[in-house]
Amino acid sequence: MNRIQQAMLLGASAALFACSTPSSEFGVYRQSDGLVGVHAPKSAKENEAHDEAVKECKKLGKLTATIVDTRPTVNDRFPMTYLYICR
């Protein structure tokens, strides 16, 4: 029974991983005012953009990212831009 549960857990994890947007598809940048911007592709969800912002904030020595603004863009590849402040 234990092997069956492990196999089911592994399968569910793989399915969730396959559904998420790869990190390489996000455009992450730092602004001069200290905000972190994330250009998100069409298929991305807001929580995935938040995860990318947290990664960038951790590079800066901060622990969390709080959303400040959401802006639509005219870019077909990145239709949404999310702005975060690192704390």
pLDDT of res. 22: 62
Q: What is the pLDDT of residue 42?
A: 87
Q: How many residues does the chain have?
A: 87
Instruction: Give residue-wise pLDDT tens across range 18-63.
Output: 455 666 789 999 999 999 999 999 888 999 999 999 999 999 999 9
DSSP 22: P
CA distances from 51 to 5, 10, 23, 35 (A): 28, 22, 9, 15
pLDDT interval class at 11 (50, 70, 90): low
Is the per-residue pLDDT at 2 higher than 60? yes
Domain residue ranges in the chain? 24-86
